[in-house]
Amino acid sequence: MDANTLRAQLAQFTGSDTFTHRQLLRRMIMTQGVIWLADQAQAHWLTDVIASYQHEPHISSEHFQTWRLNVDEITRTAVITMTDGNSDTPLVQQVIAYTDFCLDEITLWLIAQGDHLVLMLPSEY
Protein backbone atom coordinates (compact mmCIF):
# COMPACT_ATOMS: atom_id res chain seq x y z
CA MET A 1 0.00 0.00 0.00
CA ASP A 2 1.39 3.43 -0.87
CA ALA A 3 1.73 6.24 1.66
CA ASN A 4 -1.11 8.40 0.29
CA THR A 5 -3.60 5.54 0.37
CA LEU A 6 -2.50 4.57 3.88
CA ARG A 7 -2.89 8.16 5.14
CA ALA A 8 -6.34 8.45 3.56
CA GLN A 9 -7.48 5.19 5.12
CA LEU A 10 -6.06 6.07 8.56
CA ALA A 11 -8.01 9.35 8.54
CA GLN A 12 -11.24 7.33 8.61
CA PHE A 13 -10.53 5.96 12.09
CA THR A 14 -12.23 8.32 14.54
CA GLY A 15 -13.08 6.09 17.44
CA SER A 16 -13.09 2.42 18.23
CA ASP A 17 -15.67 0.05 19.63
CA THR A 18 -13.45 -3.02 19.39
CA PHE A 19 -10.16 -3.51 21.20
CA THR A 20 -7.57 -6.23 20.71
CA HIS A 21 -5.13 -7.47 23.34
CA ARG A 22 -1.46 -7.44 22.41
CA GLN A 23 0.08 -10.85 23.04
CA LEU A 24 3.43 -9.37 24.14
CA LEU A 25 1.72 -7.41 26.94
CA ARG A 26 -1.78 -8.62 27.86
CA ARG A 27 -2.81 -5.40 29.61
CA MET A 28 -2.11 -3.41 26.43
CA ILE A 29 -5.09 -3.20 24.12
CA MET A 30 -5.15 -1.70 20.66
CA THR A 31 -7.87 0.13 18.80
CA GLN A 32 -9.22 -0.84 15.39
CA GLY A 33 -7.10 1.85 13.74
CA VAL A 34 -3.85 0.59 15.26
CA ILE A 35 -4.64 -3.01 14.33
CA TRP A 36 -5.50 -1.92 10.78
CA LEU A 37 -2.24 0.08 10.56
CA ALA A 38 -0.16 -2.84 11.86
CA ASP A 39 -1.83 -5.26 9.43
CA GLN A 40 -1.82 -3.08 6.32
CA ALA A 41 1.66 -1.59 6.81
CA GLN A 42 3.09 -4.87 8.14
CA ALA A 43 4.12 -2.95 11.24
CA HIS A 44 3.34 -5.23 14.16
CA TRP A 45 6.98 -4.66 15.06
CA LEU A 46 6.01 -1.07 15.90
CA THR A 47 3.44 -2.15 18.47
CA ASP A 48 5.99 -4.66 19.82
CA VAL A 49 8.52 -1.88 20.36
CA ILE A 50 5.98 0.17 22.30
CA ALA A 51 4.90 -2.83 24.39
CA SER A 52 8.50 -3.79 25.15
CA TYR A 53 9.16 -0.51 26.99
CA GLN A 54 6.13 -0.82 29.30
CA HIS A 55 8.12 -2.98 31.73
CA GLU A 56 10.45 -0.08 32.54
CA PRO A 57 9.22 1.79 35.65
CA HIS A 58 10.01 5.30 34.33
CA ILE A 59 7.93 4.52 31.22
CA SER A 60 5.04 2.62 32.80
CA SER A 61 4.55 5.46 35.31
CA GLU A 62 3.60 7.78 32.43
CA HIS A 63 -0.19 7.66 32.04
CA PHE A 64 -0.08 9.42 28.67
CA GLN A 65 2.62 8.51 26.19
CA THR A 66 3.22 9.94 22.73
CA TRP A 67 5.12 7.57 20.43
CA ARG A 68 6.44 8.99 17.16
CA LEU A 69 8.19 7.08 14.41
CA ASN A 70 10.23 9.19 11.98
CA VAL A 71 11.57 7.47 8.87
CA ASP A 72 14.42 8.76 6.71
CA GLU A 73 13.13 8.03 3.23
CA ILE A 74 16.63 7.90 1.70
CA THR A 75 18.46 5.63 4.17
CA ARG A 76 15.31 3.78 5.31
CA THR A 77 16.48 4.15 8.90
CA ALA A 78 14.07 5.36 11.55
CA VAL A 79 13.91 6.71 15.06
CA ILE A 80 11.10 5.95 17.46
CA THR A 81 10.69 8.49 20.25
CA MET A 82 8.41 8.52 23.27
CA THR A 83 7.52 11.64 25.24
CA ASP A 84 5.00 12.34 27.97
CA GLY A 85 2.99 14.53 25.57
CA ASN A 86 3.74 17.71 27.54
CA SER A 87 7.34 18.15 26.48
CA ASP A 88 9.57 17.36 23.53
CA THR A 89 12.12 15.75 25.85
CA PRO A 90 12.34 12.08 24.87
CA LEU A 91 11.97 9.46 27.57
CA VAL A 92 12.72 6.78 24.95
CA GLN A 93 14.64 7.09 21.73
CA GLN A 94 15.45 4.00 19.70
CA VAL A 95 17.14 3.81 16.31
CA ILE A 96 15.70 1.33 13.81
CA ALA A 97 18.48 0.24 11.43
CA TYR A 98 16.10 -0.48 8.54
CA THR A 99 12.39 -0.22 7.86
CA ASP A 100 10.17 -0.47 4.82
CA PHE A 101 7.39 1.43 6.64
CA CYS A 102 5.78 3.52 3.90
CA LEU A 103 5.02 6.68 5.89
CA ASP A 104 7.72 9.18 6.77
CA GLU A 105 6.09 9.72 10.17
CA ILE A 106 3.37 8.27 12.38
CA THR A 107 2.27 9.16 15.90
CA LEU A 108 0.50 6.80 18.29
CA TRP A 109 -0.80 7.50 21.77
CA LEU A 110 -0.70 5.09 24.69
CA ILE A 111 -3.13 6.03 27.45
CA ALA A 112 -3.62 4.32 30.80
CA GLN A 113 -7.29 3.55 31.43
CA GLY A 114 -7.94 1.54 34.55
CA ASP A 115 -6.03 -1.74 34.36
CA HIS A 116 -5.37 -1.34 30.63
CA LEU A 117 -3.03 0.59 28.38
CA VAL A 118 -4.86 1.66 25.23
CA LEU A 119 -2.74 2.14 22.10
CA MET A 120 -4.55 4.37 19.60
CA LEU A 121 -4.23 6.70 16.67
CA PRO A 122 -4.59 10.35 17.77
CA SER A 123 -7.75 10.56 15.62
CA GLU A 124 -9.33 7.80 17.74
CA TYR A 125 -9.19 9.74 21.01
Q: Is residue 69 part of a domain?
A: yes
What is residue 52's predicted lDDT score, i.e. its pLDDT? 94
List per-residue pLDDT tens for the chain, 125 residues long: 789 999 999 988 887 666 766 666 678 999 999 999 999 999 999 999 999 999 999 999 999 999 999 999 999 999 999 999 999 999 999 999 999 999 999 999 999 999 899 999 999 98
60 is in which domain, residue-wise? Answer: 3-8+18-124
Contact between 32 and 40 (Cβ < 8 Å):
no
CATH at residue 72 = 3.10.450.150
Whole-model pTM above 0.85? yes
Instruction: Provide the pLDDT for residue 14.
Output: 80
Please report whether residue 13 resides in a domain: no
The neighbouring-strand residues paired with 79 are 70, 95
Burial class (CB in 10 A: 0-12, 13-18, 19+), 28: buried
Number of domains in the chain: 1
